[in-house]
Amino acid sequence: MLDDIFDYVERIRERPVWQPIPDTVRARFRQDVPTEPSDLAVVHGEFMNDILPFATGNTHPGFMGWVHGGGNLPGMLADMLAAGLNANLGGRDHMPIEVERQIVHWVRRLFDFPRAATGLFVTGSSMANFIGVLVARTAALGIDVRRKGVGSGSERLVAYASAAAHDCIAQAMDLSGLGIDALRVVATDDRHRIDLDALQAEILNDRASGFTPFLVVGTAGTVDSGAIDDLTALAAVAEREKLWFHVDGAFGALAILAPDLAPRLAGIERADSIALDFHKWAQVPYDAGFILVRDGALHQATFASPVAYLRRETRGLAAGSAWPCDFGPDLSRGFRALKTWFTLKVHGTAAIGAMISHTCELARYLERRIMTSPELELLAPVALNIVCFRCRADDANSDALNAGIVVDLHESGICAPSTTRIDGRLAIRAAIFNHRTERRDIDALVDAVLRCGRAAVASAAA
Ligand SMILES: Cc1ncc(COP(=O)(O)O)c(C=O)c1O
């Protein structure tokens, strides 16, 4: 099994990025509950034939869709070790929890947070942002909100994020009982960053109308175009207006590891909480989201519950409080920290930072190729590693044409960008996260887009 998966990763370029699952494979894969045992080798054979060839493809250098990390081998092996230990990191006194605490300490250091700051591995930034919103809610309403609920008081809390913020912020407002409408969607400037004047005006307007502003969310690396909000300015607004300052740094926060990019995150060190993912730019295998909270006591007060069956001791296996389950909703928790610890230690943060810078260089190369191809048009400034562009066509046909090109690219197996909308127009979106991606992959993308675009125009004309 190890040989097969090493071969897979080593020879990933020889495969299509993605291929559709044939009906025959889907059909033979659907089986009844396996009451009888099967030979491990037979089950592994099924994996090799029916699962592995039809995976998402994000280990492939031509994968540029959505926001997907490429994974890495030390992280993969660490996951095998973690599964062998079968550690449960909800709580108790054992070394796997010390590994998670070690990473909490490193993340504190990276963002210049105080020793009292707490952190927790979670599935991904959707969950990390949700935890950030919940702690902000506790800060605004006190811990009584946990018993009485958000409907018990007279205060109508409102939060702020830009129109470019990820939808999981609205989802967090929904899940926390505050409601999606309580998230004010603030306009963006011409670089897709939150418009600070519009933000200030909305806060004033809300106060005048009897609402209670409690939270401002800045984004470090927006999902559509990679824009970074002015975090220093947001920190100042939050201080002045007494708002919780949360940063959604799902992928962008780890640009802190790249010396050329880190200055653009200035202000993040003033956040009250930061959401980030090790499974994106840091290439840790899925999943490895993380939340960091400046006020650890408040973080704990938002989740901890004294229950008899989780009694803490000062000696023995039940020692070591506070436990990770005191800082989030999960009680049973896997050993995400180990694959992250291996990845950071084996590669070192300097090499990871250099790789992050390199993906941004590739994005600038793609930008240049677009600017010098008359048939292509750049749709958003290239802030980091995400490039939004389209094949030129008249406005009536452009969206369908470009959406069709992306589907054709996926089915070609050459490359896999995704799509989004920029200023109302459908964009081909290349998000370069994979550490295996090289210039030749960018060239292959541009050539394939041009080829598919010309073919689509020709068939429309015919
Ligand atoms: C800016 C931003 N925030 C939040 C998320 C959600 O993260 P996850 O998919 O890890 O839940 C993403 C995902 O791409 C993102 O780009």
Contact present, 74 and 343 (Cβ < 8 Å): yes
Residue 189's pLDDT is 97
In this structure, the residue with its CA closest to atom 16 of ligand 1 is 223
Residue 457's pLDDT is 85
Q: Is the dihedral of CA 394, 400, 405, 406 positive or negative?
A: positive
Which residues, listed in sequence order, are joined to residue 246 by a DSSP beta bridge? 217, 273
Give the DSSP H or E segment for 214. Answer: strand 212-219
Atom in ligand 1 nearest the alpha carbon of residue 287? 10
What would the pLDDT profile of 232-253 be if each residue is shown by its tens digit? 999 999 999 999 999 999 999 9
What would the pLDDT profile of 20-44 be if each residue is shown by its tens digit? 999 999 999 999 999 999 999 999 9
What would the pLDDT profile of 373-406 be if each residue is shown by its tens digit? 999 999 999 999 999 999 999 888 999 999 999 9
Contact present, 173 and 159 (Cβ < 8 Å): yes
Q: Is the pLDDT of residue 462 over 80?
A: no
Distance from the alpha carbon of residue 221 to the mean position of ligand 1, in angstroms: 10
Pocket residue to mutate for ligand 1, from 125, 273, 287, most atoms within 8 A of Cβ: 125
Give the DSSP H or E segment for 290. Answer: strand 289-293
Contact present, 130 and 175 (Cβ < 8 Å): yes
What would the pLDDT profile of 90-149 be if each residue is shown by its tens digit? 999 999 999 999 999 999 999 999 999 999 999 999 999 999 999 999 999 999 999 999
Distance in angstroms (rounded) separating the CA atoms of residues 357 and 267:
20
Atom in ligand 1 nearest the alpha carbon of residue 251? 16
Confidence of residue 460 (pLDDT cuts 50, 70, 90): confident
Distance from the alpha carbon of residue 124 to the mean position of ligand 1, in angstroms: 7
In this structure, the residue with its CA closest to atom 14 of ligand 1 is 67
Q: For the whole model, what pTM was predicted? A: 0.98
In this structure, the residue with its CA closest to atom 12 of ligand 1 is 250
Distance in angstroms (rounded) separating the CA atoms of residues 402 and 419:
9
Give the DSSP H or E segment for 379. Answer: none
What would the pLDDT profile of 166-214 be if each residue is shown by its tens digit? 999 999 999 999 999 999 999 999 999 999 999 999 999 999 999 999 9
Give percent above pLDDT 90 in the chain.
Answer: 97
Give percent above pLDDT 70 in the chain.
Answer: 100
Residue 394's pLDDT is 87
Residue 324's pLDDT is 98
Distance from the alpha carbon of residue 6 to the mean position of ligand 1, in angstroms: 28
Q: What is the CA radius of gyration of the chain?
A: 24
- Mean pLDDT for the chain? 97
Note the residue count of the chain.
462
Atom in ligand 1 nearest the alpha carbon of residue 129? 4
